[in-house]
Structure 1
Amino acid sequence: MTDMMAERTQLVTDIMDGKIPKRVPVVGLFAHEFAIQYAGKDLKEVQWDTTDLEACFEKVCDDFYSDLLPVSAFRMPSFYKVLGSRNFVMGSNGFLQHPEVEGLKVEDYDDFIASPYNCIVEKVLPNLYSELNSDPATRSLVMAKAFKAYTDENNNLFRIYGNLVNKYNYCTSTFFAGFCEAPFDILTDQLRGFKNISLDVRRIPDKVEAAVNAATPLMIKMGTQPFPNKYNATFIPLHMAPYLRTKDFERLYWPSFKKLVEGLAEKGMRANLFVEQDWMRYLDYLEELPAGTIMQFEYGDPKLIKEKLGKKHIIGGLYPLTLLKTGTKQECVDKAKELIDIMAPGGNYCFGFDKVIITLDSVNVENTKAVLDYVANNASY
């Protein structure tokens, strides 16, 4: 391990141990779509033939400061194409889209509640993936092809990640060692859809409650890392809570989600939450989660977030990508300074943007570089 890698790793392990690090860790997050565009490559071509993907990632690593690996590819199109996916579809612009889908019919709630895994295999997957809606022999062949494509893609990505971590001396810990969803969110995103779940909450809340409870053990299993490590984290994007009435959140969203995070903690893992949209009315709930939970906020009052959560949890996010697009370089740097002055005192803070940077035109590149460099050089304790 080089001195730079050791120093960066120490920053993150100190944060996760509840210690004040030498300086604020910088977490730059760029999607593979941005990296491909930034490198001047064709977005559609590189996603199907990933020969040039590593070079695209290197371009981002060369030009943008981060203490953790700043680039990742979360979903590649190959295995979705093999499956005939309806829930993730490649758009004509080269971006993978997530259309509104209904994987679980309302009449199948009882089957899901009784045996969620069996219901997913027997009913949900054929609804979401057209090539699985066939005879058993054909389904087996399709699933084998898709799994081969999935493992090939991921093995290549993990090889690239390892190369980049070593070449650029990034921190060896990761905030993305596993992935799952809150039980209510998986019910919404992949099973019922936004429209249907909104109706279900009002018409059949008892079944919704039973379904999220049934899904919770599956989400704990899904989020369990192959080699649990308190210095890594399982990523959980939070979707539906801001769209729920508080009373529905308290009954249908929070109990199963809390059980999920606590279940991961009991196995020696911590959660890395992307707190999407505005969770300000739920800050007291988030405070109840196991100490050291990582929370990257999209919106909110940084002073109140720091006051309520900053002593117990690791907080970040909130820097607006819109300012990187529209502001002057000085305005962008001043905003970073403002957030650091509020969030950094006492530790438990990682600098990051309010969203992953996905498209090249969503930010001004020079502003983005200036902000990341400023934090790296001026956020020492």
Structure 2
Amino acid sequence: MRTVELGSVATIERKGVDPLAVPPETLYIGLEHIERGGRIIGHDTVAGAELASTKFQFSPDHVLFGKLRPNLGKVCRPNFTGVCSTDILPIRPGKDLDRNYLAYYLGQPSMVEFAASRTSGANLPRLSPTVLATFPVPLPPLPEQHRIAAILDHADALRAKRRQVLAHLDSLSQSIFHDMFGDLHGGRWERVPFGELVPRVDNGTSPNCEARPAASDEWAVLKLGAVTYGYFRPEENKAYLGDLGNMDSNEVRSGDVLMTRKNTRELVGAVALVDEVRPHLLLPDLIFRLHLDGSRLDRRYFQALMMNPQKRPSVRDLSSGSASSMPNISKARLAKLPLELPPLALQREFAARVDLIGGQRARVEAASAVDDMLFASLQSRAFRGDL
């Protein structure tokens, strides 16, 4: 199979557009609207997002490639026209390249890893358009590209059904929260400063690590992705082969409550609970370990509160940072955040109901992980020419 450079069969279009020069109802996509793995989970409008800086234009003819932290695999196929963050590169395939084929190729795990290895910038790693244009792309005849994309579309549709079940379970948890606790802005519950209910906040350290996840018998440091979406993902880690020193005090333990102190504005302050964890996983500097006063605050209620759509804006507003760095939440500002505090018995009743859903979710998530492994294997075979 012939292999070519991406730039010879596609164009990375970076023509900037002033948001004030397009209709205010124009749809806008930021990195926060693209899920890890490439699914578009939402959008905004130019007016709604209050855009001020230059953006890129895109259409249904483009593949959108997230160049900031490309290890997240944010490669997607929009089905509408709009503008996007300049941290997203619109790629227009040429006449010899199928858009769906290209999106699946760039989104496969091996290419995500390849992209991550070619970034620059320590705190905010980005892939330059020039480097992206040099990526190798296997180029079978167009009919074969169409066939491969159709097979992968069918397999991905089966994965999507499993994701829909997960989304339903997540919305069910939020529905239970709303049914039991109502409008958080309604003044129904006592509001207590975070620092009174969480008297101790620790964070780890971030030593130099390997670019790969750790083997089961190796020490590792968690990545932000282990907490970002409100569920603990221990596989989101980087192997650490150096001297442990006194870092063993940062080892993640069952029962921990973790919170990201630094991330994009949309994702900063996410909270996840550790129910089970393998040994030898360490906290990084970017994740807090929260010590709750269990006599007043249930950990499952607290996690649901902090991730509640009504609460998220006030959590995000705690963050600060320059344009060149990710927003950060300080311990001092966090301590002043008011927390709605229903009676402990009611919190525990909520926790018991959510635990039942959590068991179902764990089973579906395990099946989804198998789906992802099989899909990655299918992608690998497809782009080797083995389908």
Task: Place the TM-score, normalised by the shorter chain, in its bin.
Answer: under 0.3
TM-score of the pair, normalised by structure 2: 0.25
Q: Which has the higher strand share?
A: 2
Q: Which has the higher helix share?
A: 1
TM-score of the pair, normalised by structure 1: 0.26
Task: Give the structure, 1 or 2, with the largest relative contact order (CA under 8 Å, sep 6 or more).
Answer: 1
